[in-house]
Amino acid sequence: MLRMENVTKTYKLRRQTVVALDDANVHIHPGDFVSLVGPSGSGKSTLLLMLGGMLSPTSGRVLLSDQSIYDLGSNGRARLRKANIGFVFQTFNLVPYLTALENVKIPLYLAGRGDAEQEVCATALLERVGLGDRLDHKPSEMSVGQQQRVALARMLANDPVVILADEPTGNLDPETADDVMGFFEDCNREGRTIVMVTHDPRAAARAKRTLRLKAGKLVSEAPGAKALHVA
C-alpha cells in the first residue's frame, strides 16, 4: 500500500544541514493502523507529509500502490491525493466563513459532484459524526470537538482508502479524543489504512502498530503501544 525506500530528507538552516529523516524504510499494508510516536523534532510530521505526497524526499522513493509518488508532477500528485488520501490535522483547517455543511461540500465540489449530490453526501457525513443538528453552524459557533468532527466528515468526503492524521487529538479533551479514536477505529474496520502522528500514549495504544522515531531515525516497531517505552 504505502512504502518508503531509503528515504532521507535534509534542510539547510543557517548554512548547516539538518537531517529531518534519515534513511527511513517503512512498509504500511492495506488495512493497517499505524501510530508514529517520538519526541518533537524526531521526524514524525515530515514522514507523514512525505507519505501524503506533500513533501519531496532529498533521496529515496515513496510509493503508493507501487506508484512512485514523486516521479509524478505536481498535478499528478494532486490527482493521486484526491483519489486516495484523506488528511486530518490538529488545527482542523476549516474555512471560517463557511458553515459545517459548506466545509464538507468543498472536496465534493472539487470532485465535480452535482449540487444535489453534494448536499446529500455532506449531510450524511455530518450525521455520521453526530452533527446533523449543526449543519448551518460556522466553526466559531461550534466547540473545538465539534470542529474536529466537521474536519473528520470532510476528510471522508472523497472516500479515501488512506487516512493520514497529524495529532488529531492534540487539542481535544480526553472524552472527545476517545470519540475521535473510536471514529478512526470504525474507519479502519471498514478497510481504510490509517497512519497517525501522536504524542498521546492512549491514542497510540489503539493503533495496530507503533513506529517510534528519534532524531530522524526509526528506532523501534511494535504492536500497539509497546514501542512507546523503547528509547
Q: What is the pLDDT of residue 228?
A: 44
Owning domain of residue 83: 2-98+138-229
For 74-115, give the DSSP string.
HHHHHHHHHHHEEEEETT----TTS-HHHHHHHHHHHTT--H
Distance of CA 120 to the CA centre of its chain: 25
pLDDT digits (tens, 9 = 90+) for 177-206: 999 999 999 999 999 999 999 999 999 999
pLDDT at 122 exceeding the cut of 60? yes
pLDDT at 124 exceeding the cut of 90? yes
Instruction: Note the helical H segments in 14-71.
Output: 44-51
* Mean per-residue pLDDT, 6-14: 91
pLDDT digits (tens, 9 = 90+) for 25-56: 999 999 999 999 999 989 999 999 999 999 99
The proportion of the chain whose per-residue pLDDT surpasses 70, expressed as a percent, equals: 97
Q: Is residue 103 part of a domain?
A: no
- Distance in angstroms (rounded) separating the CA atoms of residues 164 and 132: 25
Per the structure, the count of domains in the chain is 1
What's the whole-number average pLDDT of the chain? 92
Q: Is residue 82 part of a domain?
A: yes
Distance of CA 154 to the CA centre of its chain: 12
Q: Is residue 15 part of a domain?
A: yes
